[in-house]
Amino acid sequence: MSSVDKQLEDIKAEIESELPPRISVSEVSFEGPELVVYTHDPKEFADQGDLIRQLASKLRKRITVRPDPSVLLPPAEARKRVQDVIPDEAGVTDLDFHADTGEVVIEAEKPGMVIGRHGATLREITKEVGWTPEVVRTPPIESSTVKNVRSFLKQERGDRRDILERVGRQIHREELSDDDYVRVSTLGCCREVGRAAFILSTPETRILIDCGDKPGAEDEVPYLQVPEALGAGASNLDAVVLTHAHLDHSAFIPLLFKYGYDGPIYCTEPTRDLMGLLTLDYLDVAAKEGRAPPYESEMVREAIKHTIPIEYGDVTDIAPDVKLTFHNAGHILGSAISHFHVGDGLYNVAFSGDIHYEDTRLFNGAVNDFPRVETLILESTYGGRDDYQTDQEDSEKRLKKIIRETAERGGKVLIPAFAVGRSQEIMLVIEEAMRNDEIPRIPVHLDGMIWEATAIHTTYPEYLRDELQNRIFHEEENPFLAEEFNHIDGGEEERQEVADSGPCIVLSTSGMVEGGPIMSWIRHLGGEEDSSLVFVGYQAQGTLGRRIQSGWDEIPIQTQQNGANKTQTLQLNMDVETVDGFSGHADRQGLINFVKTMNPRPEKVLCVHGDEQSTQDLSSALYHKFDMRTFAPKNLETFRFL
C-alpha cells in the first residue's frame, strides 16, 4: 500500500470516528488540493450544517462531500425538485447533472439566491435530492469565452477528474528529503518589463510562478531551458501559479504543455477565463502578422483543462511542503498576490504579481496583511524616482475635458486600451460622466476584445470593488450595460461607418498600439486634426505607442496590395494626449506605501518587473526608508533564503 493510500485509509477512519452512526462514508479520495468524501447519506450531512466545517478544521484540509452514485434521485425527478426549492427570482438558466460525481451545476442570473443565507438553500437542495449543488453565474452580457470554457470543462470532466486525482496524490505524497532550503530563481522580468517567470524551489518541490511574453519583443521567452525549470524535463515542475492573465505574465503558459508539462495551474477563476481569451488572441495576432505561433490552440485548451481555480483567502496545499494563498492584487480582474507558506512554519514568500495599492473604480486596493512574509518579490513598473502618477480624480477631470472639447469641435476620441482592466475602468468613468451630464451622450464603440473582456467582468462581480458590487447586486444597476456602449462586430465596414459619422469615443485594443484593431482606427482617424488620441495606460519601451507618445507623427501602417503586405507612412494629425492615473499599477509612492504598511513587514524585498533604473531606484528607496535588505536582481540569478 502506498503512503497516499495509507493516508486516505487513516483519514477515512478518523472521519468515521467523528460522524454520527447514521452517516456512513463509502470512499475518500484526493482531487487536487481537496479531500472528497463520498457518502450514502448526503441528506444527513446536509442536516448537520457545521459538520463539514468541523471536519475540515480537524483534518486541516479542504473537504467536499459528494453523494455515492447509488443514492441519487434520477435527474428528471431531481430537476423538478431543485426547481421547486430555488426561488423564481434567482433566474435559473440551466441545470446540469453529473452522475459520476453526484454534482448538479446550477447556472443562475442571481447565484446568491440559489445559495441562500449562509448556504441554507444549497443544504435544502441536497436534503431534497441528494445531489451536491455547484452554482455559477449566468453572464449578464453573453460571453463566448465563459460559455466555451464551461462547455469544454464539462466535455472533459472525465479527463479532468483523472488529472485532479493524480495531482491530489502528488500533493499528498510522502516528503523524501530532510534538507531545509527555499530558493527563488529569476527566469525573466528582472530589470525589464514583461516576460515574468520565477521558480520557487525547495528540496521537495519546484513551482513556476508566471510565464509571460515581453511587450514589443517577438522572440524573448523566459529562460525556461535552465535546469531549475524545464532543462531537466517538464516533469521537473510540480505546479504552475499564475498571478493574473495579462500576456506579459501568461502568454507562454500553454507552451509548457507543448514541452510536456502535465501538472496543475493554480489561478483564480476569472484569470483562467481571461487567460484563455488573451492567449487565443495572441495566437490569432501572430498568424495575422505572418509570425509562426509558439504553440497551437490545443495547448491553450490543455492549460484550461489543467487549471485548478482558487478563491482569495483560501489556504491551499499545492505540494507536500507548500501551501498557497491568493490575495486581491487590485490590478485586473482576478489578479492575485501569491503567498507561499513553505514547510511547517519554515519560510514565507509572497509574489506581488502586478499590484495597485489604492482603491480604483473597479477594484479594492491590494491586500498587504499576511500571517508572515520573510521575502517579498515586488513589481517595480513605476518604481523610478520620478514615477508619480496623477491623482485619479484629476485624471478623470482631464479625460472628461478632452472628451468634451474634442466632441465640441466635431472630432472623435480614440483611446488605445488594454482589453482587460483599463478599458473597464475608462468605461465606468465615461458612464458616470454621461449619467451626470459632464460630457455629451455620444456613442462609445468598443473594439477588439474589449466587449468580450467586459462580459467576463460581468460574470464575476464578486471580484469587483465593494461599492460596485453593491450597485450591481443590491441596486440592480450594472454600469457595463449602459445603452451608450456599442460592440464593434462588423469589422472594417462598421469602422468606416463610425469614421464617417459624428463625434464618438472609441476604445480599442491593443493598448500599446502593437497591432490589432487600433491600427485600423489610426488609418481611419489618424489624419483628422479635430480628433484626439489619448493614452491611458503604460507604454513599454520599443512599442509603437511609446514612440507616438514621444513625438512620432509619421506612423508605419501595413496595407495589402495585390495580396502582398506593404508598409506605408501615415501622417498623424490627431492631438496626442497622455492621461496618467488610470494605470493598473501602483506608482512609486503606492509601492513604497504597500511595503510600509505591510503586516508584517518583510525582511527582504526583490524589486522586479521594471526597467533597470526603476528597479534600482525602488530597491535603494526601500533600503534607506525601512533598513531592510533589498535587491534589484538580474535574470538568471538564484537567491537562497535558508
CATH code assigned at 351? 3.60.15.10
User: Is there a domain that residue 399 lies in?
Assistant: no
Reduce the DSSP state of residue 178 to 3 states and report it.
Answer: coil
Asked if residue 107 belongs to a domain, the reply is yes
Rounded to an integer, the average pLDDT of 524-546 is 91
* CA atoms within 13 Å, Cβ hemisphere of 484: 22
Q: How far apart are the first and last CA of the chain?
A: 35
- 564 confidence band (pLDDT: 50, 70, 90): low
Q: Is residue 392 part of a domain?
A: no
Q: What is the CATH number of the domain that holds 540?
A: 3.40.50.10890
Tell me, yes or no, whether 145 lies in a domain. Answer: no
Tell whether the model's pLDDT for residue 10 goes beyond 70.
yes
CATH classification of the domain holding 125: 3.30.300.20
Give the end of a domain, one of 558, 578, 598.
Answer: 578
423-450, pLDDT tens digit by residue? 999 999 999 999 999 999 999 999 999 9
305 and 326 together in one domain:
yes
In degrees to the nearest 10, what's the CA dihedral of 407, 412, 414, 415? 20
**Domain end position, chosen among 83, 114, 138:** 138
**Do 563 and 426 reside in the same domain of the chain?**
yes
Residues 454 and 593 in one domain: no
Mean local confidence (pLDDT), 246-271: 96
Extended strands (E) in 210-295? 239-241, 265-267
Average pLDDT over residues 314-336: 97
Residues 504 and 544 in one domain: yes
Whether residue 597 is found in the same domain as residue 632: yes
Are residues 551 and 409 part of one domain? yes
The pLDDT tens digits of the residues spanning 23-43 come to 999 999 999 999 999 999 988
On whether both 55 and 199 belong to a single domain, the answer is no
Q: For residue range 217-248, what is the model confidence (pLDDT) as tens digits?
A: 777 899 999 998 998 888 889 999 999 999 99
Q: Helices 450-459 and 422-435 sit at what angle, rounded to 10 degrees?
A: 80
Q: What's the pLDDT at 610? A: 95
**Is 380 in the same domain as 409?**
no
CA distance 54 to 60: 10
Q: What is the pTM of this model?
A: 0.93
- The answer on 245 and 194 residing in a single domain is yes
Look at strands 375-379 and 347-351 and give their pairing: parallel
Q: How confident is the model over 164-204, as pLDDT tens digits?
A: 999 999 999 988 888 899 999 999 999 999 999 999 999 99
If one counts the domains in the chain, the total is: 4
| 259-263, 398-402, 541-545, 616-620, range with the lowest pLDDT | 541-545
pLDDT tens digit string along 579-604? 988 888 999 999 999 999 998 899 99
Q: What band does 518 get if pLDDT is binned at 50, 70 and 90? A: very high
Bond before 510 cis per omega within 30 degrees: yes
Provide the pLDDT confidence category of residue 307 given band limits of 50, 70 and 90. Answer: very high
Same domain, 431 and 411: yes
Residues 552, 469: one domain? yes
Mean pLDDT (the chain, rounded): 93
Residue 393 lies in a domain: no
Amino acid at 39: T
For residue 476, what pLDDT band results from cuts at 50, 70 and 90? confident
Q: Which domain holds residue 14?
A: 1-40+49-64+150-173
Confidence of residue 521 (pLDDT cuts 50, 70, 90): very high
Do residues 572 and 596 both lie within one domain? no
Assess if residue 228 is contained within a domain.
Answer: yes
- Amino acid (one-letter) located at 417: A
